[in-house]
Structure 1
Amino acid sequence: MRLSTVILPVRRWNEGGRDEWLRAERLGFHTAYTYDHLSWRTFRDGPWFGAVPTLTAAAAATERLRLGTLVTSPNFRHPVTLAKDLLSLDDVSNGRITLGIGAGGTGFDATALGQEAWTPRERADRFAEFVPLLDRLLTEDSVSYDGTFYSASEARGIPGCVQRPRLPFAVAATGPRGLELAAAHGQAWVTTGDPKLFETGTPEESAAAIRGQIERLGKACVEIGRDASEVERILLTGFTPERGGPMESLDAFVDFAGRHFALGITEIAVHAPIADSDFAADQRVFERIATEALGQLRP
């Protein structure tokens, strides 16, 4: 069982931003992730900094904490340039980077480069090409590729990642094609639950949906001859019917986490509190969750 956090890039580095990453390390979180977006929902008209520079600064400021994106998508990334950034991040952090990666959505990132938002089918098609190419770019010295959506011409990946054969992928997916990618390329899988249940579903319905997702991931692994236990299973909180409920008290979180660990989730990521936002929470409760929750969950 692992407990991680998500630090949204909304604070200037020298005005509290750096302190958040140092606090995450001090509190003992397994990994501190950040969103890889150009902006996000209710934060669109406020400060929002880039994921790669933020993680680079966090890597230089911390020593033990794992770092990562949750998640990067093809919406505004290209595999060749992303691979170079990731290789560099892995080097600066001395092998502490995890790439959370998903197909992307219809939010602001989807049109920020001036294109029309892709349909779900188009996103799935691009994701199916993006992930295997990125895998090659991070494991091979030189890659040439001419695909439907992406190309590479003798793209160099020297000297390779500190983590071998490459830094781990945490693939966010719930549909069959995405789960196949998670089975084939992921060291971890990410879920936020079932989006259809967020507004009107119940915790019981959400648990059943997550259980079904884990079962389908297992079947995807079996189909390619992979042991499903090799794939970590990460739940990003804040998007299930419980919403902010688990962050109301230590007891509420322990109950929430215990139920999800029992389903087969192996890592839970909670958002660091941001006042007056969807992720508002009591800082003292957040710190107690970080330092006490796992101890109460161990057999």
Structure 2
Amino acid sequence: MRLSTLILPVRRWSEGGREVWQRAEELGFHAAYTYDHLSWRSFRDRTWFGAVPTLTAAAGVTSRMRLGTLVTSPNFRHPVTLAKELISLDDISDGRVTLGVGAGGNGFDATALGQEPWAPRERADHFGEFVSLLDRLLSEDVVSHEGVHYSAHEVRNIPGCVQRPRLPFAVAATGPRGLNLAARYGQAWVTTGDPKVSNGGGTPAESHEAIRGQFERLGKACADQGRDVADLQKIMLTGFTPDRPLDSVDAFVDFAGHHAELGIDELVLHWPIADSLFEADVAVFERIATEGLAQLAAR
């Protein structure tokens, strides 16, 4: 199992922003991700910076760990402009970028450009065309496309990605259409658990069972695409289930063990932020980063 972190873009670069990304690499995290939102929930009226510039800056002060979004969505992104930014970021980072991508939700991003929120079917339609066009833009030198939601006219993306044939996609999905996209285009699949369990006051055991069901549906989607489900990495963004893995090193080891048994091979922990949903003891967090996987392996 790999251990990664997610650093929300809430710190000025000159006031701790740089240091937290450097510290993440020092602690040995496999990857450090950030949200790709214009604002998010309780942080709407707090400091919040853009994902791609933040990751570009992080690429300049790190050298080993991977960088990425968890997740980018079609809510305010267009595949043509996003592809150019990603190719540039992949070059600047020397091929360390993973694009986490999802359908998005009905949060602040959904109406920031003045549009009405999409219905679930519209959201899925946009997501499908978004991912398929982005796949082409990141792997072909010249792309033209006339779609229902997106168009591209003789778009040049030379020299392309450092990573070939393109940088990897980590597709966040639990519904049938999204899982089919993960099976077709993804190098990884992302889950946050089942919100029905968490929002409904469910137990950790119920959460584990729900994730087991997601794995079964992912396996079916891969079979439908003629693909071995083992080819996909399975990433879990933590913090949205009834479990409390950051309470202690022992709690993390127990959490990681249960999810490794389910098939998760990368856990992503939110970097602690005081006075927020992601508040946690920084000392415990750092112990988990440096000791957690070793203790899991020793079980």
- The TM-score, its normalising length taken from structure 2, stands at 0.98
Task: Provide the secondary structure at the position in 1 that maps to 2:267.
Answer: strand
Partner Cα distance (1:201, 1:119) in 2: 27
What is the match of residue 255 of structure 2? 256
Partner Cα distance (1:47, 1:105) in 2: 21
Instruction: Kindly provide the amino acid, as one letter, of the partner of residue 201 in structure 1.
Output: G
What is the match of residue 265 of structure 1? 264
What is the match of residue 146 of structure 1? 146
Are residues 1:292 and 2:291 paired? yes
Instruction: Kindly provide the amino acid, as one letter, of the partner of residue 228 in structure 2.
Output: D
The offset of 1:241, in angstroms, is 1.5
What is the match of residue 178 of structure 1? 178
Paired residues for 1:191-230 under 5 Å: 191-199=191-199, 200-230=201-231
Partner Cα distance (1:286, 1:173) in 2: 27
What is the match of residue 71 of structure 1? 71
The offset of 1:9, in angstroms, is 0.2
State the Cα deviation string for residues 136-159 of structure 1 (Å, max 9, x = none). Answer: 000000000000000000111100
- Give ranges in structure 1 of 5+ residues lacking alignment: none
State the Cα deviation string for residues 60-101 of structure 1 (Å, max 9, x = none). Answer: 110101000000000000000000000000000000000000
What is the match of residue 89 of structure 2? 89
What is the match of residue 31 of structure 1? 31
Instruction: Give % identity.
Output: 74
Instruction: Kindly provide the amino acid, as one letter, of the partner of residue 205 in structure 1.
Output: E
The offset of 1:223, in angstroms, is 1.2
- Give ranges in structure 2 of 5+ residues lacking alignment: none
State the Cα deviation string for residues 254-293 of structure 1 (Å, max 9, x = none). Answer: 1011100110011000000001110000011000110111
How many pairs align?
A: 297
Partner Cα distance (1:149, 1:74) in 2: 10
Partner Cα distance (1:17, 1:93) in 2: 18
What is the match of residue 111 of structure 1? 111
State the Cα deviation string for residues 98-152 of structure 1 (Å, max 9, x = none). Answer: 0000000000000000001111111001001000100000000000000000000
Partner Cα distance (2:11, 2:162) in 1: 29
What is the match of residue 233 of structure 2? 232
What is the match of residue 190 of structure 2? 190
What is the match of residue 242 of structure 2? 241
Partner Cα distance (2:176, 2:250) in 1: 35
What is the match of residue 159 of structure 2? 159
Instruction: Kindly provide the amino acid, as one letter, of the partner of residue 52 in structure 2.
Output: V
Partner Cα distance (1:160, 1:141) in 2: 7
State the Cα deviation string for residues 222-252 of structure 1 (Å, max 9, x = none). Answer: 111111111001110010112xx21010000
Partner Cα distance (1:196, 1:117) in 2: 21
Instruction: Kindly provide the amino acid, as one letter, of the partner of residue 42 in structure 1.
Output: S
State the Cα deviation string for residues 176-231 of structure 1 (Å, max 9, x = none). Answer: 00000000000000000111111311111110110111111111111111111110
Give every structure 1 segment of 4 or more consecutive aligned residues whose post-TM-superposition deviation is greater than 6 Å: none
- The TM-score, its normalising length taken from structure 1, stands at 0.98
Partner Cα distance (1:155, 1:174) in 2: 32
Partner Cα distance (1:205, 1:248) in 2: 20
Partner Cα distance (1:72, 1:207) in 2: 26
Partner Cα distance (1:117, 1:225) in 2: 34
What is the match of residue 62 of structure 2? 62
